[in-house]
């Protein structure tokens, strides 16, 4: 048997292939797509980048959602970034994708050598700072009311 064929029609969701030989067979193949999506919390203006054979990116604000359309079976890395911030997780890699995926990221202000945090160790919410290794913890507020949401300035 001798066979030959040609792609006779194609768009982003289907491809039609016609094969010629002793008989003609036409088949439609659907391109299966999924999404990798999630939210970014903690900061506005975060760039979320999808890497594979091509690179795509989106800018997301605090609590905002990102969404990338991907193809079945592909391998991808999603990385959030913004100068002066670290993220948890710092990136996420997905291999042989066969379903929709949701992954969230949280931004944390990066101050070299110092961490600000809230603790109730004295009975109410107070703001503390410490060195990055956990040493030199000290209370920087001492109010009868609750203190929360520490931030560094200028930034």
Query: Does the pLDDT value for residue 83 go beyond 80?
Result: yes
Structural domain spans, the chain: 1-31, 33-109, 111-155
Question: Tokens for 80?
Answer: 């959030």
% of residues, the chain, pLDDT over 90? 35
Domain at 33-109: CATH code = 2.60.40.1120
% of residues, the chain, pLDDT over 70? 79
When pLDDT is cut at 50, 70 and 90, the band that residue 37 belongs to is very high
Query: Does the pLDDT value for residue 154 go beyond 80?
Result: no
Query: Cα–Cα distance between 110 and 114 in angstroms, integer?
Result: 8
Q: Write the pLDDT tens digit of every residue in 121-153.
A: 888 889 888 888 889 898 888 888 888 788 766
How high is the pLDDT of residue 44? 92
How high is the pLDDT of residue 66? 97
How high is the pLDDT of residue 78? 97
Question: Tokens for 81?
Answer: 């970034």
Q: Write the pLDDT tens digit of every residue in 16-31.
A: 666 666 666 667 777 7
This prediction's pTM: 0.60
Q: Write the pLDDT tens digit of every residue in 94-118.
A: 999 999 999 999 988 777 778 888 9
Q: Any residues with CB less than 8 A from the CB of 46 and at least 6 apart, and which? A: 40, 59, 60, 61, 80, 81, 82, 85, 87, 105, 107
């Amino acid at each position: 048997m001798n066979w030959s064929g040609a792609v006779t029609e194609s768009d982003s969701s289907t491809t039609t292939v016609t094969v010629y030989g002793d008989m003609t067979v036409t088949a439609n193949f659907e391109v299966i797509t999924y999404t990798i999506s999630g939210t970014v919390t903690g900061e506005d203006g975060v760039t979320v980048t999808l890497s594979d054979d091509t690179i795509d990116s989106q800018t997301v604000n605090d609590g905002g959602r990102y969404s990338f359309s991907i193809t079945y079976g592909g391998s991808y890395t999603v990385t959030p970034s913004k100068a002066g911030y670290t993220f948890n997780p710092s990136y996420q890699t997905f291999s042989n994708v066969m379903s929709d995926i949701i992954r969230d990221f949280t931004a944390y202000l990066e101050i070299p050598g110092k961490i600000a945090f809230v603790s109730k160790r004295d009975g109410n919410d107070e703001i503390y700072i410490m060195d990055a290794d956990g040493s030199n913890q000290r209370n920087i507020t001492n109010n009868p009311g609750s203190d929360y949401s520490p931030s560094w300035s200028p930034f």
